[in-house]
Amino acid sequence: MIITLMGAPGSGKGTQGRSLASSLGVPYLASGDLIRRAMADRSRWGEQVRSFIERGLYVPDEDIVPVFLQALIASNHHAGRIGGVLDGFPRTTEQALALDRALSELSVSAEQLALVLDVPEDVLIARLSGRWLCSGCNASYNVQSHPPIMGGVCDVCGRALMQRVDDRRDTIQERLLVYAASTRPVIDFYTARGSLRHVNGDEPELKVREGLLNAVRRAVPVSR
Ligand SMILES: [Zn+2]
């Protein structure tokens, strides 16, 4: 089964996606990781991707779609079935349609399920604005869930903690708006198809994990 996991910044999507993938025994494929890997290997495609990222633009559909497909196929070649937890893809309905087309061209079984981690906006804002990073070793902290022993100082190396520009309160609201607007069409797309499930993300990590697994188990897979 191919699971597309969606969730706002601060929803815990990355952590949950990794753990869901390992529980199901399928690969976790995140667009950020794939893009970083491509940029690091200095391939022609990597250079092309770099030129978009460096300009602060999204990588175009025609470049990102084949990368996900390749990653899906490469990590499932032995199984005869295809599966994975996708994070950050499909990001648009065009990408969702391209994924459909590509899957129907492959002679493998590939049911699709879309999961959305629901977390109220005030909780997201509190989570995101509580993030602090060490300026020395990059260790991360959260004033609510994982505070440093001494305020503003790294437990590991003793240097000062700082906030990413992204995690400052004034930019968070903006990030959440952008997320909601850009995800809406994809959510509508999978809802119309009957393959979208909502999972409560405003619970302790283990409960959320259980909720995601239950949603997968209960899902009536839609084959394409
Ligand atoms: Zn440190």
Q: Which domains does the chain have, with CATH numbers?
A: 2-120+172-223 (3.40.50.300)
Check residue 224 and give its pLDDT. 43
CA 31-147-170 angle, to 5 degrees, is 60
| Mean pLDDT (the chain, rounded) | 88
Q: Are strands 2-7 and 111-118 parallel, antiparallel or unpaired?
A: parallel
Is residue 164 part of the annotated active site? The answer reads yes
* pTM for the full predicted model: 0.81
Tokens representing 100 are 């459909």
Tokens representing 160 are 């000062």
Is residue 13 part of the annotated active site? The answer reads yes
Is residue 18 part of the annotated active site? The answer reads no
Distance (Å, rounded) from C-alpha 55 to C-alpha 50? 8
State the distance from the centre of ligand 1 to the C-alpha of 133, rounded, in angstroms. 8
Distance (Å, rounded) from C-alpha 19 to C-alpha 25? 10
Question: Which residue among the candidates 42, 81, 159, 164 is catalytic per the annotation?
Answer: 164
Residues, the chain, total?
224
Tokens representing 192 are 């119309």
pLDDT band at 77; cut points 50, 70, 90: low
Is residue 81 part of the annotated active site? The answer reads no
Question: Which residue among the candidates 13, 127, 197, 209 is catalytic per the annotation?
Answer: 13
Distance (Å, rounded) from C-alpha 22 to C-alpha 85? 9
Tokens representing 140 are 């991360």
Q: Among residues of the chain, what percentage have pLDDT more than 90?
A: 50
Question: Which residue among the candidates 18, 36, 50, 175 is catalytic per the annotation?
Answer: 175
Higher pLDDT, 212 or 75: 212
